[in-house]
């Protein structure tokens, strides 16, 4: 088996570590190249876009990839749609590793929105001190908000952010509940904006907001056509790989 893992997440990293230890399996992890010094998993690693669905299909053929595992972030809708189209055209089996979304606890004060644009519109209405955890790609949507102070946390801090009034801190998850409680208190945060990423690594901020009674603008996941098999854990992917190995070529 020669497996391509579309990565950029903690599960993709964990999966590569497990598959690298399995005999008779070659793996290539693919990263988008957004992070300056990414954590590199075991096995071969390639970086950068493929050039759309056609480019990915070409890569699958040229590299003789036998199976594709899409372990990208739940909000990575573009590459996920490309993975579906490319595997259909190249005739390669595809598995989606998609961690379950977080569900609201009775004490949570979530305001669910469809996308980051809707979150920005709500933020503009509320104003105040906001912990903005949407990732660098969507910050532009918050650029014209003048009545809010934003706390932003990123792995790589850019020279400039498109925000009117902000404080940027550099950090890489996972984050503990104690750290998140301290951060929210220190910066006098009154509102959290988050993506419904799911998983444990970034859940502490949601729990901290609940403990402090803070409202959370929760951006729900983009819809990607569910036209392929999906599982929620690295263990379930390993089961799928074992199943695929048992099948005749």
With respect to ligand NAP, which residue has the nearer C-beta, 55 or 174?
Answer: 55
Strand, coil or helix: what is 104? Answer: coil
At CA 118, angle to CA 112 and CA 123, rounded to 5?
90
Count of CB atoms situated within 10 Å of the CB of 97: 24
Closest distance to ligand NAP from the beta carbon of 73 (Å): 3
Closest distance to ligand NAP from the beta carbon of 66 (Å): 18
Q: Is 7 in the site for ligand NAP (CB under 6 A)?
A: yes
With respect to ligand NAP, which residue has the nearer C-beta, 34 or 245?
Answer: 34
Say if residues 6 and 68 touch (Cβ distance below 8 Å): yes
Q: Is 132 in the site for ligand NAP (CB under 6 A)?
A: no
CA gap 26, 6 in Å, rounded = 14
Q: How many residues bind ligand NAP (CB under 6 A)?
A: 25
**Number of residues that make up the chain:** 249
Q: Is 8 in the site for ligand NAP (CB under 6 A)?
A: yes
CA gap 157, 136 in Å, rounded = 9
Cite the DSSP H helix spans in the chain: 10-20, 52-62, 77-90, 116-126, 177-186, 204-211, 234-246
Stretch that binds ligand NAP, among 74-82, 121-129, 230-238, 239-247 (CB under 6 A): 74-82
Stretch that binds ligand NAP, among 70-78, 117-125, 184-192, 206-214 (CB under 6 A): 70-78
Strand, coil or helix: what is 46? Answer: strand
Query: Six-digit token pair at 156?
Result: 């790589």
CA gap 177, 6 in Å, rounded = 29
Of these, 73, 96, 149, 210, which contacts ligand NAP (CB under 6 A)?
A: 73
Closest distance to ligand NAP from the beta carbon of 192 (Å): 16
Closest distance to ligand NAP from the beta carbon of 103 (Å): 19
CA gap 68, 83 in Å, rounded = 8
Q: Is 75 in the site for ligand NAP (CB under 6 A)?
A: yes
Of these, 9, 133, 196, 202, which contacts ligand NAP (CB under 6 A)?
A: 9
Query: Which phi and psi angles does 81 have, rounded to 5°?
Result: -65, -40
Closest distance to ligand NAP from the beta carbon of 118 (Å): 16
Interface characters, 138-177, with ligand NAP (x: CB under 6 A): ----------------------------------------
With respect to ligand NAP, which residue has the nearer C-beta, 26 or 190?
Answer: 26
Query: Six-digit token pair at 83?
Result: 């993975």
Query: Six-digit token pair at 126?
Result: 């509320």
Tell me which residues touch ligand NAP (CB under 6 A): 6-9, 30-32, 34, 49-52, 55-56, 72-73, 75-79, 82, 135, 137, 195
């Amino acid at each position: 088996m020669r497996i391509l893992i579309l990565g950029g997440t903690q599960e993709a990293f964990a999966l590569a570590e497990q598959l690298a230890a399995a005999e008779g399996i070659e793996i290539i992890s693919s990263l988008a190249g957004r992070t300056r010094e990414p954590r590199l998993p075991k096995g071969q690693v390639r970086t950068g876009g493929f050039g759309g669905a056609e480019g990915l299909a070409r890569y699958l053929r040229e590299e003789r990839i036998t199976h594709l595992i899409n372990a990208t972030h739940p909000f990575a809708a573009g590459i996920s749609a490309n993975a579906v189209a490319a595997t259909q055209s190249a005739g390669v089996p595809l598995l989606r590793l998609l961690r379950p979304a977080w569900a609201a606890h009775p004490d949570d004060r979530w305001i669910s929105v469809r996308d980051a644009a809707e979150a920005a519109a709500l933020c503009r209405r509320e104003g105040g001190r906001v912990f903005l955890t949407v990732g660098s790609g969507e910050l532009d949507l918050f650029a014209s908000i003048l009545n809010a102070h934003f706390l932003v946390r990123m792995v790589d801090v850019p020279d400039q952010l498109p925000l009117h009034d902000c404080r940027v801190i550099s950090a890489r998850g996972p984050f503990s509940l104690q750290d998140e409680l301290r951060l929210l208190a220190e910066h006098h945060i009154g509102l959290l904006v988050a993506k419904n990423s799911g998983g444990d690594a970034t859940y502490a901020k949601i729990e901290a907001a609940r403990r402090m009674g803070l409202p959370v603008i929760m951006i729900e996941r983009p819809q990607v056509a569910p036209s392929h098999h999906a599982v929620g854990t690295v263990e379930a992917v390993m089961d799928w790989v074992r199943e695929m190995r048992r099948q005749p070529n």
